[in-house]
Amino acid sequence: MTTQETNYIAKLRNSGLRPTKQRIKICEVLFNREKTFHFSISELTKILRLQFNQKISLATVYNTVHAFQKKGYLKEISIGNDMSYFDTNTVSHHHFYDANTNELIDINSHEVEIKKTPTPPSGKKIDDIEVTFKISKKI
């Protein structure tokens, strides 16, 4: 067993999941990358089926992704209209969302300046601010 597989098993167990072969494959796709990975659950399912030539149920992918998100290994970015993407970069940062290609593109946080924020409701505080700019092709 490789060090990477051992790390994936620990990550799965820490997320309350049994480290099955399918879940380890999910870890390989998500965390064995040099660059940030943005994905929807349906996109990840397609990648897994193509890359490993085996059927991994949508429920397995969904449950694994949400368990990782709850543990802080992934960040969910809501685009609206019941559409969410997940990001392997969990550090606070901003995005462009390209409506033509359904692609999320990272923006360096230093490139966005927030001058004023609203006062949160009583008893609440702002934990983080992340901005998503929706973009499309110029006509």
Collapsed DSSP state (helix, strand, coil) of residue 119 = coil
The structural domain count of the chain equals 1
Cα Rg for the chain, rounded, in angstroms? 17
Contact criterion met (CB below 8 Å) for 61 and 45 = yes
Q: Please report the pLDDT score of residue 9 as a whole number.
A: 95
d(CA 33, CA 27): 10
Q: DSSP of 15-84, one letter per residue?
A: TT----HHHHHHHHHHHS-SS--EE-HHHHHHHHHHHH-S---HHHHHHHHHHHHHHTSSEEEEEETTEE
Contact criterion met (CB below 8 Å) for 129 and 109 = no
Q: What is the pTM of this model?
A: 0.87
d(CA 54, CA 68): 22
Q: Can you tell me the mean pLDDT for 102-108?
A: 92
Closest CA to 72 of 89, 48, 93, 85: 89
Q: Please report the pLDDT score of residue 138 as a whole number.
A: 86
d(CA 12, CA 74): 13
Q: pLDDT of 33-68, one tens digit each?
A: 989 999 999 999 999 999 888 789 999 999 999 999
Domain that holds residue 84: 3-135
Q: Please report the pLDDT score of residue 52 as a whole number.
A: 85
CATH of the domain at 110: 1.10.10.10
User: What is the average pLDDT value for the chain, to the nearest integer?
Assistant: 92
